[in-house]
Amino acid sequence: MPFEFIQPFDVFFRREDRHVIAFFSGHPVYEAVEAFLGRRHGRAPLVRAILTRHDQSQVDYINDRATVAERCAGASRSAREVHFAPVTIRPPRAWGTMRPPASRSRSPRTRT
């Protein structure tokens, strides 16, 4: 790659098994949340939620401390906020079904 090339975006490939997005109406800070779920052999699923603010800035919440540490340091460091958030998830009986898995997480306090 020529040294003149500048990559203006964070680009990382991740395989995700599920993705869902929801838009908020009337929330004072956030306009949307996206959630990604990735199955891991012999471990609990990796869950990543991205909250998008009205100014289009984003913050990631991930349920794995090692993944958060990786995203905060080194070559894969993210330019946006990344935080650990515990998530309880109950996957469907059959992953091939269209019904999304049930999940629960405590929301972060709104920062002003």
What pairing do the DSSP bridges indicate for beta strands 87-90 and 81-84? unpaired
Residue 86 Cα distances to 20, 59, 83, 107, angstroms: 18, 15, 10, 10
pLDDT, tens digit, 9 for 90 and up, residues 1-33:
555 666 666 666 667 888 889 999 999 999 999
pLDDT exceeds 90 at position 85: yes
Domain residue limits at 33: 18-90
pLDDT exceeds 50 at position 112: no
For the chain, the domain total comes to 1
- Judge whether 54 lies within some domain: yes
Return the pLDDT at 16: 80
pLDDT, tens digit, 9 for 90 and up, residues 33-82:
999 999 888 988 899 999 999 999 999 999 999 989 988 886 666 678 89
Residue pair 28/110 in contact (Cβ under 8 Å)? The answer is yes
Q: Enumerate residues 6+ apart whose C-beta is below 8 A from 64.
A: 46, 84
- Using CA atoms, how far apart are residues 22 and 19, in angstroms rounded to an integer? 10
What would the two tokens of residue 101 be? 């898995």
- Judge whether 10 lies within some domain: no
- Judge whether 31 lies within some domain: yes
- Using CA atoms, how far apart are residues 107 and 13, in angstroms rounded to an integer? 26
